[in-house]
Structure 1
Amino acid sequence: MKRTRPERRQGAAVVRGQLVPESTHDQRLLERQGPADWVHMDPWRVLRIQSEFVEGFGQLAELPTAVTVFGSARTPVDSPDYRMGVELGRKLAKAGYAVITGGGPGAMEAGNKGASEAGGVSVGLGIELPFEQRMNDYVDLGIEFRYFFVRKTMFVKYSCGFIALPGGFGTLDELFEALTLVQTQKVTSFPVVLMGTEFWGGLIDWIKGSLLSTGKIAPEDVDLIHVTDDVDEAVNIIVESEKNRSKQSAEELEAVASQEAEPQ
Structure 2
Amino acid sequence: MAHDMTSADQPRPDHRKGPVRLRGAQRPTSTTDQRLLDSRGPSDWVHTDPWRVLRIQSEFVEGFGALAELGPAVSIFGSARTKPDDPMYEAGRQIAAKLCGEGYAVITGGGPGAMEAANRGASECGGVSVGLGIELPHEQGMNEWVDLGINFRYFFVRKTMFVKYAQGYVVLPGGFGTMDELFEALTLVQTQKITSFPIVLFGTEYWGGLIDWLRTTMLTDGKIGQPDIDMLHLTDDVDEAVAWFVAKDS
Q: Shorter-chain TM-score: which interval?
A: 0.7 to 0.9
Q: What pairs with 1:46-195 in structure 2 (closer than 5 Å)?
A: 46-195=53-202
Report the residue type matching 1:195 in the other structure: F
Partner of 2:52: 45
Larger helix share, 1 or 2: 1
Gaps of 5+ in 2: 1-43
Q: Which of 1 and 2 has greater Rg?
A: 2
Tell me, what secondary structure is at the counterpart of 2:100?
A: helix
Report the residue type matching 2:96 in the other structure: G
In 1, Cα distance between equivalents of 2:186 and 2:244: 16
1:88-146 Cα shifts (integer Å, max 9, x gaps): 11101011100000000000000000010011110000000001101000000000000
In 1, Cα distance between equivalents of 2:51 and 2:103: 41
1:2-33 Cα shifts (integer Å, max 9, x gaps): xxxxxxxxxxxxxxxxxxxxxxxxxxxxxxxx
Indicate yes or no: 2:216 matched with 1:236.
no
In 2, Cα distance between equivalents of 1:206 and 1:189: 25
Q: TM-score, normalised by structure 1?
A: 0.76
C-alpha displacement at 1:238, in angstroms? 1.9
Indicate yes or no: 2:228 matched with 1:221.
yes
Tell me, what secondary structure is at the counterpart of 1:193?
A: strand
C-alpha displacement at 1:41, in angstroms? 1.1
C-alpha displacement at 1:209, in angstroms? 1.0
Partner of 1:201: 208
In 1, Cα distance between equivalents of 2:138 and 2:126: 31
In 1, Cα distance between equivalents of 2:108 and 2:205: 23
In 1, Cα distance between equivalents of 2:231 and 2:242: 16
Tell me, what secondary structure is at the counterpart of 1:136?
A: coil
Alpha-carbon RMSD: 1.2
In 2, Cα distance between equivalents of 1:183 and 1:66: 21
1:139-158 Cα shifts (integer Å, max 9, x gaps): 00000000000000000000
Gaps of 5+ in 1: 1-36, 244-264
Aligned residue pairs: how many?
Answer: 206
C-alpha displacement at 1:242, in angstroms? 2.4
| Alignment check: 8 A CA contact 2:198 2:249 kept | no
C-alpha displacement at 1:43, in angstroms? 1.1
In 1, Cα distance between equivalents of 2:167 and 2:248: 8
Report the residue type matching 2:148 in the other structure: L
Partner of 2:40: none
In 1, Cα distance between equivalents of 2:163 and 2:134: 16
In 2, Cα distance between equivalents of 1:118 and 1:55: 27
In 2, Cα distance between equivalents of 1:194 and 1:152: 18
Q: TM-score, normalised by structure 2?
A: 0.81
In 2, Cα distance between equivalents of 1:175 and 1:209: 19
1:63-97 Cα shifts (integer Å, max 9, x gaps): 02000000000000111010101101110101110
Partner of 1:31: none
